[in-house]
Amino acid sequence: MGKLLVQGYGHCLGDKVYTNEDMKQFVETSDEWILSRTGIKQRHFAESMTNVMMATEAVTMALSKSILSKDMIDGIIVATMTPDTAMPSMAHQLKAALNIQNDKLLAFDINTACSGFIVSLQVADALITTGQCKHICVVGSEKMSSILDFNDRGTCVLFGDGAGAVIVSQDDTSEFDWVHFSNSESDTQQVLVTDSTQNHKILMQGQAVFRFAIKAMSDAIEQVCKEANITPDAIDYFIPHQANVRILDHVASKMNLDKSKFITNVDHVGNTSAASIPIALSEAMEHQRIKPNSIVCFVGFGGGLSWGATLGKV
């Protein structure tokens, strides 16, 4: 759609590390069982941090990497399905936590589960391209531990807590238009939902999610490349939703893509839902794993069911 510049990036992980061995205190499991099925070695839980606290740290880091002051931010979009409160929104609480002084600032949350960051980027692009905002902070932030059933070894070992953030602005010097694709279907079979009680714990049909994820991510990559009129092998890096290493391996193999182009961090972070893509981006940029001016494909899937991809330059 538009020409975007990533001004800054940042991330924050939950304050307590739980290894696979540590998870044995909750459920009957083992390091071998978890690692062989998911590629996960550890995850972080926010035991003394709120979701807003993690988001604040991620945005503070992103601001430190940019040339912008906090008061230049005129848009905040937070992708989350685990807000600390239903009202006010995470975005409004984040504005207060950062003490942003701007007479005009649009703030709201988006919930498309693990696809949330991609959808939020697409909305941010539209707002900037139409001139409604100049500098938008796009955040994925999740406290997944708050909705985990620690008696269910099929879900509790998969997820972690964390936040990732990017600050995007109009790029008047670029000739590259960011391109987006998103889609959804009704989850009538309750493949990936939260229960209907007040506990709202995650319920997941693992094999069905696995099959859907491979199909959805492959489709998203194909569709966004078609829209951009490029082939997938022209993409320098893929930053996928970090759900399961086996899913990513299957997608790469199915599409005959170079696995070394896939940025992964699920081994030490776990599945952080809407936060997974911006955390992976921030860590990769921090460790200089991504070369400047690279074409990057953000791709993911989530509850809803939902899936999508964004092509951009970073």
In tens, the pLDDT along 106-131 reads 999 999 999 999 999 999 999 999 99
Q: What is the pLDDT, as a whole number, of residue 309?
A: 98
Q: Is the pLDDT of residue 189 over 90?
A: yes
Average pLDDT for the chain: 96
Q: What is the pLDDT, as a whole number, of residue 198?
A: 66
For residue 88, whether the previous peptide bond is cis, meaning omega lies within 30 degrees of 0, is: yes
Q: What is the pLDDT, as a whole number, of residue 306?
A: 98
Rounded average pLDDT over 249-277: 97
Rounded average pLDDT over 251-264: 96
Q: What is the pLDDT, as a whole number, of residue 196?
A: 77
Q: Is the pLDDT of residue 75 over 80?
A: yes
Q: Is the pLDDT of residue 183 over 90?
A: yes
Euclidean distance between CA atoms 245 and 144, whole angstroms:
19
The SS3 assignment for 309 reads: strand
Q: What angle do CA 23, 206, 16 make, to 5 degrees?
A: 25
Q: What angle do CA 256, 258, 263 make, to 5 degrees?
A: 125
Cα separations in angstroms, 309 against 202, 223, 244, 267, 270: 24, 8, 17, 22, 21
Condensed to tens digits (0 to 9), the pLDDT of residues 34-43 reads 999 999 999 9
What DSSP string runs through 176-245? Answer: PPPEEEEEE---TT-SEEE-SSTT--EEE-HHHHHHHHHHHHHHHHHHHHHHHT--GGG-SEEEE--S-H
Residues annotated as catalytic (active site), given as ranges: 114, 241, 271
Q: What is the pLDDT, as a whole number, of residue 199?
A: 72
Within the chain, residue ranges assigned H as helices are 31-38, 51-64, 90-98, 116-129, 153-156, 206-228, 245-254, 266-269, 276-286
Q: 197 pLDDT band (50/70/90 cuts)?
A: confident
Helix axes 31-38, 245-254, angle to 10 degrees: 30
Rounded average pLDDT over 128-137: 97
Q: 173 pLDDT band (50/70/90 cuts)?
A: confident
The DSSP secondary-structure symbol of 39 reads -
Rounded average pLDDT over 208-235: 97
Rounded average pLDDT over 90-107: 97
Rounded average pLDDT over 183-203: 89
Q: Is the pLDDT of residue 1 over 80?
A: no
Token pair in block for residue 284: 């990769």
The percentage of the chain sitting over the pLDDT mark of 90, rounded to a whole number, equals 95
The SS3 assignment for 69 reads: coil
Rounded average pLDDT over 132-137: 97
Condensed to tens digits (0 to 9), the pLDDT of residues 34-67 reads 999 999 999 999 999 999 999 999 999 999 999 9
Taken in order of first residue, the domains within the chain and their CATH numbers are 4-170 (3.40.47.10), 179-313 (3.40.47.10)
Token pair in block for residue 269: 């972070």
